[in-house]
Structure 1
């Protein structure tokens, strides 16, 4: 895990409320933290690709987990780290419930993409 990530000259992309809903709005992985985390990663990949980014561009994430116990750490973070070269600054928050009662995991990320051109007057 990383606690500090420095960004210079990039645009920030904010993705909030990433849950385990498929493209039809149906929940994937009912009662299964790992399956929900895997669907969230697919959703993140799709959303980030739409702005020309990947999970390697994520600099900060907040992961909300219902019914968290330490044994869930690999199930939740395994999919998030799979294929990523460096972990972003990360916070895990244990919560009693999320927007929909069946949701067990929700992820919010900030990605830094591209470069902002420097203009000299």
Structure 2
């Protein structure tokens, strides 16, 4: 098993000293992609969710994957009253069979203005970069 850590230039730079993507190369030539939690700017949950999914899309594309390749999504919300707004936006991006999912309420995120943070695990098929 080989692990590559990456901060693709196609996505916004991380806000701290961490890697945004861990690519775990599998024996069959495929890979698992572990994406760090992503936040985004915006005035409300809808704007921030759109921004988060734009960043997730860029990170996945840099490794030959798409949102359809997500197998697990973990969401952190600072206010569970935002769940319906988040879910409505999420459905516009994840249109196929939904991945496994966990959503938790947290008292705050590392940026005070952040309402949401999302991390994912995705698969990358054999032969994709």
Count of aligned pairs between the two proteins: 99
Match of residue 14, structure 1, among 34, 51, 58: 34
Match of residue 65, structure 1, among 59, 70, 77: 77
Change (3 A) 1:54 1:100: same
3-state SS in 2 of match to 1:102:
coil
3-state SS in 2 of match to 1:82:
helix
Q: How much is the aligned-residue C-alpha RMSD, in angstroms?
A: 1.8
* 2:111 corresponds to: 100
State the distance in 2 between where 1:53 and 1:78 align. 23
- Which protein has the larger Cα radius of gyration, Structure 1 or Structure 2? 1
The normalised TM-score by structure 1 is: 0.74
Greater relative contact order (Cα < 8 A, sep 6+)? 1
State the distance in 2 between where 1:103 and 1:12 align. 27
The normalised TM-score by structure 2 is: 0.70
Deviation >6 Å, runs of 4+ = none
State the distance in 2 between where 1:115 and 1:81 align. 27
* Structure 2 stretches lacking a partner, 5+ long: 1-27
3-state SS in 1 of match to 2:80:
coil
* 2:100 corresponds to: 89
Checking the alignment, whether the CA contact within 8 Å between 1:41 and 1:79 is kept in structure 2 is no
Q: What is the CA distance between 1:29 and its match in structure 2?
A: 1.1
* 1:4 corresponds to: none
Structure richer in strand, relative to its length: 2
State the distance in 2 between where 1:74 and 1:105 align. 13
- The reply on whether 1:29 has 2:42 as its aligned counterpart is yes
State the distance in 1 between where 2:90 and 2:64 align. 18
* 2:85 corresponds to: 75
